[in-house]
Amino acid sequence: MSYLALSDEELSRLLRDDVPCGDLTTETSGIGQRPARLEFCARQDMVVCAIEEAARLFALCGAEVKMSVRSGLAVSQDELLLQARGDAQMLHRAWKTAQVLVEWASGISTATAAIVKAAAPVAVACTRKNVPGTKALSVKAVRAGGATMHRLGLSESLLLFAEHRLYLDESQACTVARFKRAEPEKKLAVEVANIEEAILWARAGADVLQLEKFSPGALADCRNALNNAGLHVVLAAAGGVCADNAFAYARAGADLLVTSAPYTAPPKDVRVTFIRD
């Protein structure tokens, strides 16, 4: 995975935010024009993400950059991630912004990979509950970790919540038929809170049932009830799904695990070493 999730304009904005009026310490020290080199290395095992954005940040400052890995690659402690060469002013300008991007995004991708591994072969999808303003890089990190996106936003998918249904005065079958007439290319997902709701909406023709905060045991009971009723529908486990319980949900009969857990994962640690040329 080598694409840039952030444009040059967005990356330049990050640089301006950190260095709005020059680098006071580097300029005052008089070392700005000294030739310099740095290395990014992993301090711990991780699934790397945003290394392309880090490399581009250094390039935008005028440095020469060589990546040793790409986003989505699992690396071991002390493995080299990136090298940059230029003058001290170039490297100091991009250093911290680039480091933080890699550490934060790699935290998400590593946490995602752990859930994917625990759930295999059941698919994992991450929600749209990423930190506002970080969507593009969050999505890249999720995909680098081997998962997909549950929803990018409200514009591209149909997910009917109880909060929508509160205002509907029609049968479940009428609702499903109306949605499918209006959006024939889209699958309709319905969030349900119990087995009775699951059976009602499955009979009405929903394509996906999102089981909100069902335990693995309750999910297994729901799957059995649907099977006994001759109803075949995709079951998505959602609410509290993490690496610790992903295997249990997969074994219980989920077709998809929906999670927000990676977005709150701690950042991974990248060691930055400056070298005097």
pLDDT in tens, 92-150: 999 999 999 999 999 999 999 999 999 999 999 999 999 999 999 999 999 999 999 99
More confident residue, 3 or 209: 209
- Amino acid identity, position 190: V
CA distance 44 to 41: 9
pLDDT value, residue 277: 78
pLDDT of residue 1: 78
41 shares its domain with 132: no
pTM: 0.94
One domain for residues 133 and 23: no
Same domain, 90 and 121: no
Residue 258 · residue 125 · CB < 8 Å: yes
Do 101 and 203 belong to one domain? no
Name the nearest CA neighbour of 265 among 111, 51, 43, 102: 111
pLDDT of residue 84: 98
- Cis-peptide, bond into residue 184, ω within 30° of zero: no
Both 250 and 137 in one domain: the answer is yes
Structure tokens at 72: 């989505």
Q: Which domain holds residue 216?
A: 116-264
Residue 10 is predicted with a pLDDT of 97
Hey, which residues does 41 pair with through a beta bridge?
A: 80, 271
* Stronger pLDDT, 3 or 234, i.e. the higher one: 234
Measuring CA to CA, how many Å separate 214 from each of 165, 203, 218, 252?
20, 20, 6, 11
CA-to-CA distance for 89 and 227, rounded, in angstroms?
A: 65
Contact 159, 191 (CB under 8 A): yes
Domain containing residue 176: CATH number: 3.20.20.70
Q: What is the average pLDDT score of the chain?
A: 96
| Predicted pLDDT at 18 | 94
Question: Can you tell me the mean pLDDT for 44-66?
Answer: 98
* Residue 80: CB atoms within 10 Å: 14
Region 77-91: mean pLDDT is 97
* Residue 59 pLDDT > 90: yes
- 3-state helix, strand, coil split of the chain in percent (to 5) is 45, 20, 35
The tens digit of pLDDT for each residue in 233-277 reads 999 999 999 999 999 999 999 999 999 999 999 999 999 999 987
Q: Are 120 and 214 part of one and the same domain?
A: yes
163's tokens: 């909060």
Specify whether 192 is located in the same domain as 217.
yes
